[in-house]
Amino acid sequence: MNPLLLLRVHRGAVAVLALLALSASLLIAALPRGFEASYDDALHGILDVTSANVTDLTISLEPRAAEQHLTSMAGFQKKDREWREALPSSVTSVLQTRRGREGHFAAKTIGTPVAGRVGVDGPPQQYVNVGWVSGTEKRVRYVQGTPPGPPGVVARVPGYPDLQNVKRFDIALVKDAAEKMGIPVGTTLVLGNSRSILGRVTGVFEPVDASDHGFWDHNLDVLKVSIRRTAGSDIEEQRITGLTDVGSLSMLNGQDRDLMYSWVIAIDPSAVDTRNAPSVIQGVTDFQSYLDKGAGRVLATYAEIAQYAPYFLATGLGDLLTDFLRRLATAQALMFLILGGLATVATGVIALAVQLLSERMRPGLALARARGASLGQVVRVGAGTVALAVVPAVLVGYGLSYLLSGPVTPIVHLGPLVIVVITIVFAAARLAFTHRKPLQDRRDDVAIRRSSPRRTALELLIVVLALGGSYLLRTRGLATEVAAQGADPYLMLVPAALTVAVALITLRCYPYPLRLIVWLAARARPAVPFVGLTLAARARSVTALPVLILLPALAVSVYGAVVAGTLDSAQRLTAWQATGADARVDGQAEIPDDVIEKIRQVPGVRSIVPADKGTAQIGYGGRSAIAVAIDLDAYRRIVADLPLDVPPPAPGVAAPAIPALLSPDLAIHDTLDIGWHVRMKLVKRGVITGGLPGLSFAESNLIVLPYDAAKRAGLRTYTNTLLIDGENIDGAKLRAATGNRPDFLVSTFGEALNRVTKSPLTNTINGSFLLVTIALAVYALLTVVIALVVGATDRARALSYLRTLGLSERQAAGLTVLEITPLIVLTACAGLLLGLALPSALGPGLDLSVYTGDQPVRTYDLSLTTPALLAAGLSAMAIAGAYLHAMIGGRRSLGSILRVGE
Amino acid sequence: MNELDTPTELDTPTLSELEARATHERPAFGEHAHILCDNLVRIYKTEGVEVVALQGLDLLIEKGELIAIVGASGSGKSTLLNVLSGLDVPTAGVARVAGTDLLAMTARDRLRYRREVVGFIWQQTARNLLPYLTARENAQLPLRLAGKRARTSRADELLELLGVGHCAGRKPNEISGGEQQRVAIAVALANSPQVILADEPTGELDSENSEQVFAALRQANRELGVTCVVVTHDTLVSEQVDRTVGIRDGRTSSETLRRASSDGNIIAEEYAVLDRVGRLQLPRDFTNALDMERRVRLELERDHIGVWPDKARSEDTE
């Protein structure tokens, strides 16, 4: 017996098995790669838009003790080497290695005020820090003057008789600062109100490449004048850092000025990925504690401890990655679930195909076994045939997965390997079980198999464990820190156990509803339903494997549909709450009537509800509240079919009082005197809870007035907000209608939705669910067809006998469909229920809020349409497969079928 | 009775005589038989329901014999053959073939037994041969499975011997049913077994083919000295063997012996089987004719035993 010969003889079944193994291997190897790639894309998307001073590691020191002062670049370099050597290897592996971008170091004074200018008067409230940053020579271009030279000491300063022997530093300012702050080249600034120094402006520069974020993000104080309006005055503070020569380091020290040393160690965002992120977080923490433990300081006396300043590590990398991993954990858990479901189903279908092949090989192997083949020989030949079919197919699938770009994780190699191992082991076990005795001494004709009490107890145990597990998951949640340690296997175990439990229950209870239908069918005239359903009700025609395959297939699809539906509606709700209508225009000032008129002309705009929103003074004290003046009736009309809950307007009151809705914290007042445009007297006519969707998220300190409140109080109406009802309103056209003024903020529902759905990983989740659902539907179809083909011989014989009694071909096909339909329909119902139950079973394990703009997803959207359609579609496909099989099978001649197996 | 009167027999045996008698091994039942079944029982048990297929069957077959086993459907013929071929394990009793105890075999022994001692032929022509191998390859298969070098010449010789040498290169679906069965006999003989068991080998064949197949079996029996046991319904077969054993309800019920008379005709004589403990199955026709039920009266005559219905007793009870 040669496996190759068997391969050739049973090429049909072998082809089915090989194809299934190929597709499973491809899916199992490619999907995780795709997932990982999209996780990384999402992470890089976040890192790319994050400023370098958040992602890079910045070590800073405010030197106090003289020993901490660094007077030359060599000192900085030495420290830089020290830090880099102390970095944990997990961080070292993600450092920027491009030449000239590895990082830099700097020494800058902090908050150095300009006390005056030598010879001229300058504007007040200016701050010019003196700073040296390594690597600026190549990054700046002098447009005026010369680069700063070495420092010096000035014996006397004209106009400042107190200043003697003061240090003078040459500095260069960025062109923007020189212009804004009015500091031309040649100006000498007196810096610092005490122990002053001189800053001589020798040059004005421009950055060579302002988009070199890796450098300038850390040194924005050099590039941009920061302006701050001081409280209680209309004078602006202007701050800038001037660049000085490296030689100045010898004279810059922390005793005269507040000085800050910093070392920037640049991170290469592209080197950080989801796999090394946890170790990077840990590495950053370790480095932090290394610095905290007094690294870089050699302390000999207690006095030194007091003097020595600590080194600080400033980086947002850890927090950024932690936050990302939190989002990722949900995505991973979801992927874990659907991939697990897919793998289960794929393995099940492969097992079914192995069953088909081994059934085909059985007569030959049984003969060989009877003629003197040992069990080992039979198993070797049979399993060898299966291996020959599966191994090349899996290898091809594995190879094809490399066409998809994406990082290679262990599961990419392990998945296909596991498929091969499971398939061969299953085949070997099945063959060994079938051929353990040379002769089948099963006399199923004598007595049907009754299930043993042991089996019943085991099944009961599984059901109890599954229910207990899901109860624990619901009440206790996940024990481990999901964000830190990735998806919890427990999360996977519960659905798996639930699926098995539901499958067992389905298999056990399956005959009972059928008996009722059979009882009814027996009373009807046509014979086909009765015979078909009776066949279906006989436990032997139901094999556990198809149920075990169909159930998770449906459960995962339905679960996917529920999650996708929930995500979609939660995202839409978030977007609606953000805009409050199809579009909205917020003006910082009043929106003129002509602008409103222009907006009315924008295509798609149906109606506009004007509103006025502002801060009202309550009484005459300091308390203020958000006041919104709006015609709630009109607003309710435009949000009638939206998921927004707008309260009805306050009932009218006698003029001149104005009816108002007050938030619960203000509701203690029956009347309220507020100042907003004009003094108004409000009468409480209702309480508004939960804010006003679209207009105010604030749930307290909120007052909602009629739109014409100000007019009633004797003034006129104001409008600074427009709520626009319409269809497909183009944000760009709306902006154009407002004259593209920066003080008008235009937002549309589409844009808001786009912002929420653009959240990284959302597309991955939706796309994966779709892909997996399609794959599962195909698998479900294959399951039914293969299950039917496995039992085709027996069925063909049974049907042939019936056909000799006058059953037509069409009736025979109907019989086959009826025989398989109850199983599919009942399994579909069970799968549907399981899929609908999974979200609540897994409730606390999965936090979807990270995909809905951080709006909590409290309840799952259990709309039945999509899941029911899915279940119905899958069932229809499976039943169509059965019908197809029956129609094709029915073409064979009666004689040939009746002789089968004789 | 007269012998009992002799004084020597009445003498108490001496101790040495007793010892000699104890150590002296009396020939066991069927010790020299090639196939021995003694009180063979096979019970199928499925989930508490028992079916007794063999109910204490006795059978002795000498080496080189060609016997037929006949019996109604369900009488246990096939079970007996499965037991003898080592495919099935009896529940109790003794089954010995060519000196191998079939009840005491390990799985390994059983495999060796199938490889070296027995060959068999089933009724379904399709079940005997692998459809995707040629006749020659089929005949080589048992040797290969046994790990022996499968010589082409041996397979060809066998096929030639059985008159199907011309089919050697053809696959089963390219040759007739009769030829398939003869190839099957060649396959069964491939391992040079001592016993060939055939389960209705001519059941699916017409009379001409049946004759050829039976002739092939007889040829194997005579030329290779193989013991042949054929289960059959076919009178053509059962009337041509030296001995036909009838099985009823899992027990051997009758035996028909054939011998050539002096004038060359074949004389067949049917015997009832008396088992080791003296049990006898009376043919149902006989018992029905005399309305025998439950009990009969036996009377020992000088040269036979008379069997009478228990009439008087039944009248008493009525």
Tokens of B78: 């096939």
Q: Are strands A678-687 and A658-662 parallel, antiparallel or unpaired?
A: parallel
A446 lies in some domain: no
Contact A446, B51 (CB under 8 A): yes
Contact A857, A570 (CB under 8 A): yes
Closest to A315 (Cα-Cα) out of A269, A270, A276, A273: A269
Name the residue facing B124 among A371, A377, A902 (closest C-beta). Answer: A902
B279-284 long-range contacts (CB < 8 A, ≥24 apart) are B281/B248, B281/B251, B281/B253, B281/B254, B282/B307, B283/B253, B283/B254
Contact A28, A772 (CB under 8 A): no
How many CB atoms are closer than 10 A to CB A595? 19
- Taking the C-alpha atoms of residue A841 and residue B81, their distance in angstroms, rounded to an integer, is 59
Tell me what pLDDT residue A128 has.
93
Burial of A48 (0-12, 13-18, 19+ CB in 10 A): exposed
Closest to B283 (Cα-Cα) out of B248, B239, B238, B309: B248
Mean pLDDT to the nearest integer, A610-639: 85
Tell me what pLDDT residue A107 has.
93
Residue with structure tokens 């198809």?
A: A546
Check CB contact of B142 with chain A, cutoff 8 Å. Answer: yes
Check CB contact of A832 with chain B, cutoff 8 Å. Answer: no
The pLDDT-based confidence of A856 (bands split at 50, 70, 90) is low
Q: Which residues of A touch B129 (CB under 8 A)?
A: 367
Q: In this model, does residue A172 exceed pLDDT 70?
A: yes
Cβ contact B46–A377 (<8 Å): no
Q: Which residues of B touch A9 (CB under 8 A)?
A: 132
- Taking the C-alpha atoms of residue A786 and residue A775, their distance in angstroms, rounded to an integer, is 16
Cβ contact A449–B48 (<8 Å): no
Check CB contact of A440 with chain B, cutoff 8 Å. Answer: no
A361 lies in some domain: no
- Taking the C-alpha atoms of residue B99 and residue A696, their distance in angstroms, rounded to an integer, is 100
The answer for B 145-174 residues in CB contact with A (under 8 A) is 145-146
Q: Are residues A82 and A124 in the same domain?
A: no
Check CB contact of B82 with chain A, cutoff 8 Å. Answer: yes
Select the more confidently predicted residue: B30 or A733: A733
Q: Are strands B66-71 and B227-231 parallel, antiparallel or unpaired?
A: parallel
Cβ contact A368–B85 (<8 Å): no
Q: Determine which of A649-658, A682-691, A881-890 has the lowest per-residue pLDDT on average.
A: A881-890
- Taking the C-alpha atoms of residue B158 and residue B196, their distance in angstroms, rounded to an integer, is 14
Contact A560, A769 (CB under 8 A): yes
Q: Are residues A160 and A280 in the same domain?
A: no
Q: Which helix (H) or strand (E) holds A702?
A: strand A702-705
Tell me what pLDDT residue A232 has.
60
Residue at a domain's end among A742, A757, A787: A742
Cβ contact A449–B44 (<8 Å): no
Check CB contact of A370 with chain B, cutoff 8 Å. Answer: yes
- Taking the C-alpha atoms of residue A109 and residue A88, their distance in angstroms, rounded to an integer, is 31
- How close A382 gets to chain B, by Cα (Å)? 14
Residue at a domain's end among A742, A770, A805: A742
Mean pLDDT to the nearest integer, A201-221: 89
- How close A546 gets to chain B, by Cα (Å)? 26
Cβ contact A446–B44 (<8 Å): yes
Q: In this model, does residue A549 exceed pLDDT 60?
A: yes
The pLDDT-based confidence of A443 (bands split at 50, 70, 90) is very low
pLDDT digits (tens, 9 = 90+) for A61-109: 888 777 788 888 898 999 899 899 989 999 999 998 888 788 899 999 9
User: What CA–CA distances, in Å, run from A384 to A13, A14, A431, A828, B142?
Assistant: 15, 12, 11, 36, 20
Q: Are residues A766 and A901 in the same domain?
A: yes
Q: Which residues of A touch B51 (CB under 8 A)?
A: 443, 446
CA angle A837, A840, A33 (to 5 degrees): 90
Going by C-beta distance under 8 Å and a sequence separation of 6 or more, which residues neighbour residue A454?
A: none
Instruction: Return the residue of A nearest to B90 by Cα.
Output: A441
Q: Which residues of A touch B86 (CB under 8 A)?
A: 438
Tell me what pLDDT residue A586 has.
86
Instruction: Return the residue of B nearest to A437 by Cα.
Output: B87
Residue ranges of the alpha helices (H) in A186-307?
A: 213-216, 220-223, 277-292, 302-307
Closest to A355 (Cα-Cα) out of A20, A632, A87: A20
Tokens of A74: 């060599």
Tell me what pLDDT residue A901 has.
42
Q: Which residues of A touch B48 (CB under 8 A)?
A: 447
- CB environment B280-311: b (16+ within 10 A), e (fewer): ebeeeeeeeeeebeeeeeeeeeeeeeeeebbe
Tell me what pLDDT residue A59 has.
92
Name the residue facing B132 among A9, A368, A371 (closest C-beta). Answer: A9
Q: Are residues A84 and A123 in the same domain?
A: no
Burial of A272 (0-12, 13-18, 19+ CB in 10 A): buried
Select the more confidently predicted residue: B151 or A464: A464
Q: In this model, does residue A746 exceed pLDDT 90?
A: no
Check CB contact of B279 with chain A, cutoff 8 Å. Answer: no
Mean pLDDT to the nearest integer, A434-453: 62
Q: Are residues A732 and A763 in the same domain?
A: no
Q: Which residues of A touch B78 (CB under 8 A)?
A: none
Side-chain half-sphere exposure of B132, counting CA atoms within 13 A? 18
Containing domain of residue A172, as a range? 111-256
A426 lies in some domain: no
Select the more confidently predicted residue: A417 or A520: A417
Q: Are residues A642 and A526 in the same domain?
A: no
- How close B84 gets to chain A, by Cα (Å)? 12
User: What CA–CA distances, in Å, run from A470 to A338, A475, A495?
Assistant: 18, 9, 8
Q: Are residues A737 and A834 in the same domain?
A: no
Going by C-beta distance under 8 Å and a sequence separation of 6 or more, which residues neighbour residue B16?
A: none
Check CB contact of B115 with chain A, cutoff 8 Å. Answer: yes
Cβ contact B51–A443 (<8 Å): yes
Side-chain half-sphere exposure of B272, counting CA atoms within 13 A? 10
Cβ contact B128–A443 (<8 Å): no
Look up the pTM and report it: 0.75
Q: Are residues A129 and A244 in the same domain?
A: yes
- Taking the C-alpha atoms of residue A133 and residue A245, their distance in angstroms, rounded to an integer, is 9
- Taking the C-alpha atoms of residue B204 and residue B124, their distance in angstroms, rounded to an integer, is 7
- Taking the C-alpha atoms of residue A350 and residue A365, their distance in angstroms, rounded to an integer, is 21
Tokens of A145: 């003057």
Side-chain half-sphere exposure of A831, counting CA atoms within 13 A? 35
Percent over 70 (pLDDT), chain A: 89
Total CB pairs under 8 A between chain A and B: 67
The pLDDT-based confidence of A846 (bands split at 50, 70, 90) is low
- How close B283 gets to chain A, by Cα (Å)? 28
Cβ contact A367–B128 (<8 Å): yes
Tell me what pLDDT residue A857 has.
62
- Taking the C-alpha atoms of residue A575 and residue A748, their distance in angstroms, rounded to an integer, is 9
Name the residue facing A373 among B145, B187, B191 (closest C-beta). Answer: B145
Tokens of A480: 């481990």
Percent over 90 (pLDDT), chain A: 16
Cβ contact A447–B48 (<8 Å): yes
Q: Which residues of A touch B107 (CB under 8 A)?
A: 375
Cβ contact B132–A371 (<8 Å): no
The pLDDT-based confidence of A131 (bands split at 50, 70, 90) is very high
- How close B47 gets to chain A, by Cα (Å)? 6
A854 lies in some domain: yes
Q: Which of A9, A365, A367, A371 to mutate to test the interface with B (most CBs of B within 10 A)?
A: A371
Question: What phi and psi, each to the nearest 5 degrees, are found at residue B17?
Answer: -65, -40
Q: Are residues A544 and A675 in the same domain?
A: no
- Taking the C-alpha atoms of residue A386 and residue A377, their distance in angstroms, rounded to an integer, is 14
Side-chain half-sphere exposure of A870, counting CA atoms within 13 A? 33
Residue ranges of the alpha helices (H) in A87-123?
A: 89-92
Q: Which residues of A touch B46 (CB under 8 A)?
A: 442-444, 446-447, 449
Check CB contact of A121 with chain B, cutoff 8 Å. Answer: no
Contact A165, A195 (CB under 8 A): no
Q: Which residues of B touch A442 (CB under 8 A)?
A: 46
Q: In this model, does residue A896 exceed pLDDT 80?
A: no
Cβ contact B51–A446 (<8 Å): yes
Q: In this model, does residue A589 exceed pLDDT 50?
A: yes
Select the more confidently predicted residue: A790 or A84: A84
Check CB contact of A793 with chain B, cutoff 8 Å. Answer: no
pLDDT digits (tens, 9 = 90+) for A763-785: 777 778 888 888 888 888 788 77
Select the more confidently predicted residue: A309 or A117: A117
Q: Which of B42, B114, B199 to mutate to test the interface with A (most CBs of A within 10 A)?
A: B114
A24 lies in some domain: no
- Taking the C-alpha atoms of residue B125 and residue B112, their distance in angstroms, rounded to an integer, is 25
The mean of the pLDDT values for chain A is 82
Residue ranges of the alpha helices (H) in A443-592?
A: 453-476, 482-485, 489-509, 511-523, 527-537, 544-579
Residue at a domain's end among A256, A277, A304: A256
Closest to B196 (Cα-Cα) out of B237, B165, B225, B154: B225
Q: Are residues A122 and A236 in the same domain?
A: yes
Closest to B141 (Cα-Cα) out of A64, A349, A292, A371: A371
- Taking the C-alpha atoms of residue A557 and residue A341, their distance in angstroms, rounded to an integer, is 9
Tell me what pLDDT residue A444 has.
45
A651 lies in some domain: yes
Q: Are residues A159 and A248 in the same domain?
A: yes
A789 lies in some domain: yes
Tell me what pLDDT residue B265 has.
80
Q: Which residues of B touch A440 (CB under 8 A)?
A: none
Positions of chain B with pLDDT lower than 50, given as ranges? 1-6, 313-318
Q: In this model, does residue A398 exceed pLDDT 90?
A: yes
A346 lies in some domain: no
Q: Domain tally for chain A?
A: 4
- CB environment A185-217: b (16+ within 10 A), e (fewer): bebbbbbbeeebbbbbbbbbbebeeeeeebbbb
Q: Which residues of A touch B87 (CB under 8 A)?
A: 370, 437-439
Q: In this model, does residue A850 exceed pLDDT 90?
A: no
Q: Are residues A135 and A240 in the same domain?
A: yes
The highest-confidence range among A131-140, A649-658, A709-718, A798-807, by mean pLDDT, is A131-140
Instruction: Return the residue of B nearest to A452 by Cα.
Output: B47
Side-chain half-sphere exposure of B207, counting CA atoms within 13 A? 2
Instruction: Return the residue of A nearest to B131 by Cα.
Output: A364
- Taking the C-alpha atoms of residue B54 and residue A477, their distance in angstroms, rounded to an integer, is 63
